[in-house]
Amino acid sequence: MPVIGLVWDRFARPCPFAPDVVVDTDDVLPQKIDAVACHASQVYEWLPYNRGTLADVPEGAADRRAWLGAQLAQRFAAPAGMYRDLLVARYGQERGSCVATAEAFEISEYGRRPAADELGRLFPF
């Protein structure tokens, strides 16, 4: 039976998100933004169109990357603020209180529930 991790999003229904693991992503934020930028039709066309902000999307590749980076930095900062206590518990007060961006995961009941020591192996960050 696999372990299934759900990633935090802004949805609160039908069930509020309850994270089991929160990891610091500060060191990999540029790579995360680059990965999301690969989905050009979604992040530079479809999502801005649906939000009514298509005119705000820059034309050049460097300008688009900077624009996307600014938007995603806010999105990736939200879990760090919301789940600060879990970051401090995981990394200690000094590092945990300084994390600017994070990913939060809830272990789904539809997969296997790993023990606490296995979570450490599955999320070694």
pTM for this structure? 0.83
Question: For residue 121, what pLDDT is reported?
Answer: 87
For residues 35-52, give the mean pLDDT: 95
pLDDT > 80? residue 114: yes
Residue 124: the pLDDT is: 82
Please report the pLDDT score of residue 23 as a whole number.
95
pLDDT value at 91 more than 90: yes
Report pLDDT for 10.
81
- The pLDDT of residue 119: 86
Which residue type occupies 68?
L
- Could you state, in order of their start, the residue ranges of all structural domains in the chain? 5-122
CA atoms within 13 A on the CB side of 68: 26
Report the C-alpha gap between 103 and 53 in whole angstroms.
26
